[in-house]
Amino acid sequence: MARTKKKVGAYPSGMILFSLTLALFLIGFCGLLAIQSKKLVTHIRENYEIRAFLDKGLDEKKTEVVYKTIAERPYVLQTDGKAQVNLVTKDEAAKEFIAETKEDFSKFLGENPLHDSYRIKLNEGYFEEAKLQEVKKDLEQIGGIFEVVYQENLVDNINQNITKIYAVMSAFALILLVIIVVLMNNTIRLALHSQRMLIRSMQLVGATNSFITRPFLGRGMWQGFLAGIIAVGLLIGGLQLAIHNLPELGMFQDPQKIIFLMAGIVCLGIIIGFLSTFQAVNRYLGLTLDELY
C-alpha cells in the first residue's frame, strides 16, 4: 500500500479546533456576563429613587409648578422625552405604609400625617453619595418642597460591590486568556510534531523560513476564524435559549455591544491562531537535527 504523502501545513487539527472553540466560548461568555452586568447596573441606578416631600396645603397649581421645576433639572432621568418624576399623594403613601407594616396608624392618630411627595429617578452619572448630597441641597431650595430624603450610604455600598464584581471578572478573564494562550501553544506544538521532519527537509533543500511558515500560518488563522464562528454560534444559541426560558433577561441586552463582542471573538480567534502557530513553527525551525529526534 502506498504511503500517504505529508503536505506542509497539514496536521491533525481536530483537537486544536475543539480547544480554541472552547476557549473562545469561555471568553465570550465572560464578555456576555460583563455586558449583562453593565445593563443590570444601569437598570439599578436608573431605578433608584429619591423622595421630595411637599409642604402641606399646596394646591394643584403650585404642585404642578414644583413638578415642572424638578423636571427641568439636569440630573433628572429623561425617558422618551418624559421626566421620571412621579407624584405620590399622602393617601397613596398611607396605603403603601399600611400594606408594608400591616399597621393602620390612622386609627390611633385620627389623621394622615404623611406628605405628598415626588419620587424622582436620576441619571446614572449621579449615582454617587457626594452628588446625591448636591441633588438633595438643590431640590430643597425649590419652593414648596418640605424635605428630600434618600437611603444614605446605600449608594456607596452598591458602587463598592459593583467595583469588586468587575475586578473579579476582569481578573478571571485575564487569567483565562493566559491559560488559553499557553494551552493553544502546547496543543499546536504537539500537532506540529508530526511535521518537524518535513520542515527540516524543506530547510535542507533551501526553502526560506517565510516559505515554510506561510501555509502553517494560513491554516492557523483559518482554524482561529472557524473556531470563532463556532463559538459565536454557541454563544448566540445559548443566549437565545436563556432569554426564552427567562424573558426578563431581554431587557438587559445591548445589541450593539453584543455585535462588537462577537466580532471581537472571531478576531481574537484569528489572532490566537496566528500567534500560536507562528511561535510553534519558529520553534521547530530553530531546532538542530539532534533536537528534532
Q: What is the mean pLDDT of residues 141-155?
A: 83
| Whether pLDDT at 190 is above 80 | no
Same domain, yes or no: 256 and 234? yes
Q: Is residue 1 part of a domain?
A: no
**CA proximity to 272, closest of 235, 240, 230, 228:** 228
Q: Is residue 6 part of a domain?
A: no
Same domain, yes or no: 82 and 210? no
| Whether pLDDT at 117 is above 70 | yes
Separation in Å, CA 214 to CA 9, 227, 255: 8, 20, 37
Q: Is residue 165 part of a domain?
A: yes
Same domain, yes or no: 188 and 278? yes
Number of domains the chain is built from: 2
Q: Is residue 2 part of a domain?
A: no
Same domain, yes or no: 74 and 140? yes
Residue 229 pLDDT: 94
Give the CATH number for residue 64. 3.30.70.3040
**CA proximity to 284, closest of 188, 219, 182:** 188
Alpha carbon dihedral 223, 226, 228, 231, in 10-degree steps, equals: -120
Same domain, yes or no: 73 and 182? no
What does the alpha-carbon distance between residue 86 and residue 65 come to, in Å, rounded to a whole number? 14
Q: Is residue 5 part of a domain?
A: no
Dihedral angle sign, alpha carbons of residues 23, 25, 27, 30: negative
Where in the sequence is the domain holding 80, given as residue range(s)? 47-152
Q: Is residue 3 part of a domain?
A: no
| Whether pLDDT at 181 is above 70 | yes
Same domain, yes or no: 271 and 182? yes
Same domain, yes or no: 21 and 73? no
Mean per-residue pLDDT of the chain: 79
Residue 112 pLDDT: 67
Tens-digit pLDDT profile for residues 193-219? 666 677 777 777 777 777 777 888 888
| Whether pLDDT at 34 is above 90 | no
Same domain, yes or no: 193 and 266? yes
How far is CA 18 from its chain centroid? 25
Same domain, yes or no: 65 and 119? yes
Pairing of β 145-149 and β 49-54? antiparallel
Q: Is residue 213 part of a domain?
A: yes
Contact 57, 139 (CB under 8 A): no
Answer with the one of 152, 172, 197 that is the final residue of a domain.
152
What does the alpha-carbon distance between residue 198 and residue 204 come to, in Å, rounded to a whole number? 10
Same domain, yes or no: 31 and 89? no
Same domain, yes or no: 65 and 83? yes
Answer with the one of 152, 184, 205 that is the final residue of a domain.
152
Same domain, yes or no: 145 and 173? no
Burial-class residue 280 by CB neighbours within 10 Å (0-12, 13-18, 19+).
buried
Q: Which of 10-14, 53-57, 72-76 is least confident?
A: 10-14
Residue 267 pLDDT: 93
How far is CA 109 from its chain centroid? 51
Q: Is residue 278 part of a domain?
A: yes
